[in-house]
Every structure is written in structure tokens, then in C-alpha cells.
Amino acid sequence: MQNYPIFSYHAFLFPFRWESKKKNEIELFKSALQNAGWAYRPFRINTEKDYNEFVYFYEYARDALYNTENEFKPNQTTYHFEYPLQNGKYIIKIKDRETPLQLDIESVSLKLYETGIAILSFQTENKIYPKKADIKLINDYGRRIYPQFLPLDAVQETFLAEYIEIKADKLALKETFAGYADIRFDLTQNQNPAYLPEFISGLLGDAFTNNRNENDKFFVDPVIDDRMYVICWYGNDEEAKRLSRFDNETKKYVYASDPFWHELIFIDGKEASCTSETMLPELLENHTYNRWAGQATLFGISRYSFILLTKRGWFPENILLTHLKTMYHQLVVLTLAQRASVLNFSKRVTEISKLEGEMANKISRLHKDFIRFINKMYFNEVTAQEQGIELYSMMLKIMNIKENVRDAENEINALHDFAELEQNKKTNRAVHMITLIGLYLLLPTFVTGFFGMNIFNNTWLQWNKHRPEMLIVYFIGSLAVAGIIHFFIHIKNKRNATK
């Protein structure tokens, strides 16, 4: 293959939650992937690039970023798999466009986390389309996994592709979205109306489904919505220099009010989705990292994208792009895994709160998983590099991860308190029953204790020999006294409960 220049780089990241009703689910997940053609790939330092990426991060953060064990061990934080493709193509056919957009697939990988989250990544290169309009279309149409709304014709007029296809020497997976043309779903059967596209389900294999009724398979559920996360590098001399220019009159950069920069950051395929004269500059200011604006290099970050716009040339195409594919990619994957994990914890809280009966075991496991997540995946800093610190902090803020972690912690604590209250109620009921039994035995115990066991001597028995009804009177009297005491105790407890 000729060494064509690269115009842009696009990584599409699909975060999803997974669950299984089987034991040893991590090991079974691995086996299911291997049966579908995936290979387990531990991280190794074989090149300078590998070394630079590994030492970029703090030692305590590496466990959440890399799996370094030769053997697959169940107690790791993360597991990395790759799908081997020869001459792979990522093909996007857009309605009213004569020819499909075609990208070279650099790699397909999957990162599995013990928190019940996985992230599937498609890393692609664009060596054909230099125009900025094409870059926007690739990002927007290439990330869709199901229609945002129906009818199908209407959504395909705006941002859903006619089809997305993955093609390689021994593989062809094509999603036409035709299943949404006449859609009928029975929601009482716990079905998800949005199914996994063929270019994802075909890679995962037959052991995975997003239908909860298939209990013998791994359940897969998109964490976010109909969109994959986009990482993009775009080399464009004219746009990079124009947007990075500082206006001495307004004392602002050009990008701060430019619709095209909004379109790149917020993945608008055609026109900017914000037309407000006041909101647009505010959004662009909050979502732009401009440390290297003097070198015509801009970073844009949103909840759905990590964009790097640069000039063309050896340094941007070899150094900056390499950083994007390695260190910055790892930053994105980590924050995306954090966000997905927190959303998954909130979903588990909701599911457990709907249960009736015993919840203690599920809550205990949930609390344990959350503590492990905090200790092994959630960090305030992951690198000593100043730029990495700033980018990571910006991603945490934009994705609201810190706030979401606090909310999830409060939800789990509230669920734990509720379960503890319910358990206390059960304990109190048991103690109350024992107390009542003791209460009704109190009077006979008092009588025998005060008068002794010989109260019922021969004289007393002879006196009542011809009056057996007295035994019944004594018995009923004892119960009546105990009942009156029980009644006043109940009234007192009821008054205390209403205070």
C-alpha cells in the first residue's frame, strides 16, 4: 500500500454495561470473546512509544489503564482484548451522497472492567477526505448505533447513516438499520427497542445480546445513548491558524465565537447546534483547552468528544497524533469508564430498590464494588505532566464525574440505611414477640415466685375439687391482666412513634 498522507484520525468508543447470571462471569466473558475471534493482549513495552505511554502515568493509576499479567486473572481491574483484522475498512454510507465514506481500520480493541463496564473501540484513519465538511460527517454519522427517533427515513435525512459496514479480508458486518422501518416491541417482556447494530454484535459474537430474556447469554446495554464517543485528530493548516489567532481588538481568540469550532467539538454533522450569540461563546470558552494556541493547536472536549485540531506537518502528524492515540486515548477511556461505572452503580441502586424481600446480600456486593471502584479507578490525578493534569481535570468537570460519584455514594448509603431500617424492623418484631410471650407468662411466674411452688397444696386443691371452673377463671384472669398491660404498652409505643 502506498504511504498516503493522513488527513484525520477517528476513534469511535462504545461504552456498555454487561452482566451475566452465571458464576465466574469474568472468565466466561473472556471465553466468549475468544470464541468470537478476540485475542487477550496484555500490555508490553516493546517500543519507545510503549515506554513513553506507560511512564506518563502514576504507578497507582496504571492498574486501571493496563493489564500487564501474562495470564488472565479474575481479580484484575481491567482486561484488554484485540480483534485481528486484515485490510479492515470502516464504511459509512450517507443518504444523498453518491459514494460512501471509507476509513482504514487501524485496530479494534475492547477493554473490560470488573465494575461491569466494557469499552469497545474502533481506531480508524482517513487518508482520502481532507475537507472539513467530510470530517464533520465522518464524526457524526460514523458514531451512531441506533436511530435517535423514528420514522427511519426522517432520521436518515439528518444524522443516521444508510448503513455502516466493517469489511476485512475474512469479515463483512453491515448494519442497514432496516429493522427500525416497521418496529413493534412488547415492553412488558423487558425488551430494549434499540438493538445492537450488526457491526458491533457481529464482533462480540453469539454469546452477547441486549435482550434480557436470553438468560444464557451476556446482557449488553449501551451506557450513554445512540452515540459512540469520538476521539478525533484533524490536520488543517488554514483552520488551525485561523481559529488560533488572537484578536487584539476584542481580546479574544477567533475560536471563541466560531461556529465551525462548535461543530467540531459537539459533533455537528452539518450546522452548529447552537445559534445563540451569548451561549455559543460561553460553550466554546468552557470546552476549549488553548495552552498551545500559539502553535495553532487546539483541544476541544465535550461529553461526547475529544478533538485535537492542528496544522499539518511532521510534528503534528507524528508526535501530537501519537500522543492522541496513546496517552490522551487512555485519559479518555479512563474517564469514560468512570462515567459509565457511576451510571451503572446508579442503575443497580434503582434495580435493587425495586426488589422485595432480602436485599442485604445485593447491597453488600454493591457497596463492596463501589469501594473498589473508588480505590482502583477513580483518581484526582493520574499523571505528573502539567498538560495531562489539566486535560484530565477538564474531562472530569465536563463529564460531571465528581458530582456523579458523590450522588452515587449518597444513593448507595441511602439504600444501605433503608435496608438496615428494614432489618431493624424485623429484629424488633421478633423481640416484640418474645416480649409478649414473656408478658403472658409473667403473672404465673410472679405468683409461683412469691408464694412458692407449693401454692397449689392439697388444701387448695381440695377446696377447688368440686369447683373446676375456678381453674378457668384463674387462667382467664391471668390473660386479662397480661392483655391490659400489653394494651397500655402498645398505646405508649404508638404515641412515641407519632412524636
Domain boundaries, the chain: 1-38+83-228, 441-498
Please report which confidence band the pLDDT of residue 451 belongs to, taking 50, 70 and 90 as the band edges: very low
Higher-pLDDT residue of 309, 375? 309
Residue 62: closest CA among 274, 254, 294, 330: 330
pLDDT in the model for residue 400: 92
Has residue 32 got a pLDDT over 50?
Answer: yes
Query: Per residue in 378-406, pLDDT tens?
Result: 999 999 999 999 999 999 999 999 999 99
pLDDT in the model for residue 426: 61
Query: Per residue in 350-367, pLDDT tens?
Result: 877 776 666 777 888 888
Has residue 467 got a pLDDT over 70?
Answer: no
Radius of gyration over alpha carbons of the chain, in Å?
33
Has residue 166 got a pLDDT over 60?
Answer: yes
> How many angstroms separate the CA atoms of 48 and 306, rounded?
25
pLDDT in the model for residue 262: 96
3-class SS at 486? helix
Please report which confidence band the pLDDT of residue 88 belongs to, taking 50, 70 and 90 as the band edges: very high
3-class SS at 454? helix
Mean of pLDDT values over 406-430: 70
* Interacting residues of 63 by C-beta distance below 8 A, sequence separation 6+: 76, 77, 78, 376
3-class SS at 223? coil
> How many angstroms separate the CA atoms of 64 and 87, rounded?
31
The CB-side HSE value for 47 (13 A sphere, CA atoms) comes to 5
Please report which confidence band the pLDDT of residue 484 belongs to, taking 50, 70 and 90 as the band edges: low
The CB-side HSE value for 110 (13 A sphere, CA atoms) comes to 25
Average the pLDDT over each of 240-249, 408-417, 431-440 and give the range with the smallest value: 431-440
Mean of pLDDT values over 53-65: 93
> How many angstroms separate the CA atoms of 47 and 21, rounded?
41
Name the strand (E) or helix (H) holding 8. strand 8-19
Please report which confidence band the pLDDT of residue 194 belongs to, taking 50, 70 and 90 as the band edges: confident
Whole-number percent of the chain with pLDDT over 70: 80
Higher-pLDDT residue of 163, 29? 163
Q: Does the bond joining 147 to the residue before it have cis omega, within 30 degrees of 0?
A: no
> How many angstroms separate the CA atoms of 348 and 333, rounded?
22
Mean of pLDDT values over 34-43: 93
Please report which confidence band the pLDDT of residue 185 belongs to, taking 50, 70 and 90 as the band edges: low
> How many angstroms separate the CA atoms of 52 and 243, rounded?
30
Question: 19, 122 in Cβ contact below 8 A?
Answer: no
pLDDT in the model for residue 480: 65
Mean of pLDDT values over 3-31: 87
> How many angstroms separate the CA atoms of 466 and 280, rounded?
103
Residue with cell 407519632: 498
Report the mean per-residue pLDDT for the chain: 85
Question: The pTM is what?
Answer: 0.84
pLDDT in the model for residue 230: 98
Give the single-character DSSP code of 6. P
Name the strand (E) or helix (H) holding 459. helix 458-463
Mean of pLDDT values over 114-134: 94
DSSP for 119-161 reads EEEEEEEESS--SHHHHHHHHHHHTB-S-SSS-HHHHHTTT--
